[in-house]
Amino acid sequence: MKVDPSVKERIERLIVDSAMFIDRDELDAWIACFEQEARYVVLPRENRELDLPVGIIHCENRARLEDRIVCLRHANKYNPHYDRHIVSLPRILALDGDVASVETNFMVVQTDKTGESRLFCAGVYEDRIRLGDEGARFVERIAVVDTFAVPTLMATPV
């Protein structure tokens, strides 16, 4: 759909910035990309096709998302690695008031601490983004993953 270039630019910046925050391990900045009531789900594509609700990660609000990150920082042990997100240009599907519905393809390449890279995940972000006065924020992000047979484990969000 046709949208104002400034709207398009704000959406693109949120998508690119949020991906970069994960890659830089700046997860507090990543969480700040979400509204308080925002929903974040990593959904296996097979569950989407079967209309089943369980996610690989499933946070119904930002408090739960923050809990996830606290656990990641203080409790979980996982494979030390670097993430690298590659995102496509966002496809803006609809603009309803100040909320845009957007789809963006993504891939995550993981590199271990010996310098070996592998494709970790491919999928599509299905986002609802509020273009508020303080900036663009996610109201909902569903990362539908094609790579639902997750290699090793998924610690950092995608």
Tell me which residues touch another protein (CB under 8 A): 42, 44, 46-47, 50, 52-61, 63-64, 66-68, 70-71, 74-79, 148-155
Report, in Å, the least distance between residue 88 CB and another protein.
Answer: 24
- Nearest Cα to 137, choosing from 66, 24, 40? 40
Report, in Å, the least distance between residue 31 CB and another protein.
Answer: 12
CA 72 to chain CA mean position, Å: 16
Nearer to another protein, 23 or 66 (CB): 66
- Beta strands 34-44 and 136-145 are parallel
CB atoms within 10 A of CB 59: 21
Q: Report the distance separating Cα 44 and Cα 50, nearest Å.
A: 10
Report, in Å, the least distance between residue 5 CB and another protein.
Answer: 37
Report, in Å, the least distance between residue 71 CB and another protein.
Answer: 5
Note whether 148 and 43 are within 8 A (CB): no
Q: Report the distance separating Cα 131 and Cα 124, nearest Å.
A: 21
